[in-house]
Amino acid sequence: MANLMVNFGKMHIDFVHTICDVSLAEITEFLKAYGSPPTNVAIIVVHLNSCAAFIDKLVIVDIRICFDTGAHTTLTIITLRADDKQEFMLYSNPSTDILPTKVELNLNLILRARIFHYRSKSLITKTCRLVNLRAMEVAKEAGTLLSYDPNLWLPL
């Protein structure tokens, strides 16, 4: 088994305002960054000198690119307040992360992983849930450690 963590979930683009305590209407500049909990986990794993892959409808890192012209990569605008709280505005209907198919699932990548990481949002829609459950089943049968991020957004 390779020293690889496979992250299943959404990748989105964050636009973060660089000046604190300014309302969304007053924002004039943004810092563009990759975002989402699974993306952040993959980035941290790489910074710890290990290997990570990311599975999303938009992209499978280091393996192949899979585009969906009928959906969007989630765009998030983030404002920073002086009290260290953040405000989020998401544009993602429909978003690529809820539309993967079993055909697009790279089982060989999952079979090479030491850890398979997924999040609660990938269990919301029926199609995505079925793909996620299939990936979990393959990972579990291969003896791969399952890692779950229970980050729950009640509006979803």
The residues spanned by each domain of the chain are 4-147
pLDDT in tens, 38-85: 888 888 888 888 888 877 654 544 444 444 566 666 667 777 777 777
pLDDT confidence bin for 141, thresholds 50/70/90: very high
Cα gap 82→93, rounded to integer Å: 30
**Domain 4-147: top CATH class:** alpha beta
pLDDT confidence bin for 27, thresholds 50/70/90: confident
Cα gap 22→16, rounded to integer Å: 12
| Per-residue confidence (pLDDT) for residue 92, from 0 to 100 | 64
The pTM of this model reads: 0.66
What is the 3-state composition of the chain as percent helix, strand, coil, each rounded to the nearest 5? 30, 30, 40
| Per-residue confidence (pLDDT) for residue 15, from 0 to 100 | 78
pLDDT confidence bin for 145, thresholds 50/70/90: very high
List all residues 6 or more positions away from 55 whose beta carbon is below 8 Å from its beta carbon.
Answer: 6, 7, 8, 9, 100, 105, 106, 109, 135
Report the 10 Å Cβ neighbour count for 109: 22
| Per-residue confidence (pLDDT) for residue 107, from 0 to 100 | 86
pLDDT confidence bin for 10, thresholds 50/70/90: confident
**For range 117-142, the mean pLDDT:** 87
* Burial (CB count within 10 angstroms: exposed 0-12, middle 13-18, buried 19+), residue 41: buried
pLDDT in tens, 93-108: 655 555 555 556 788 8
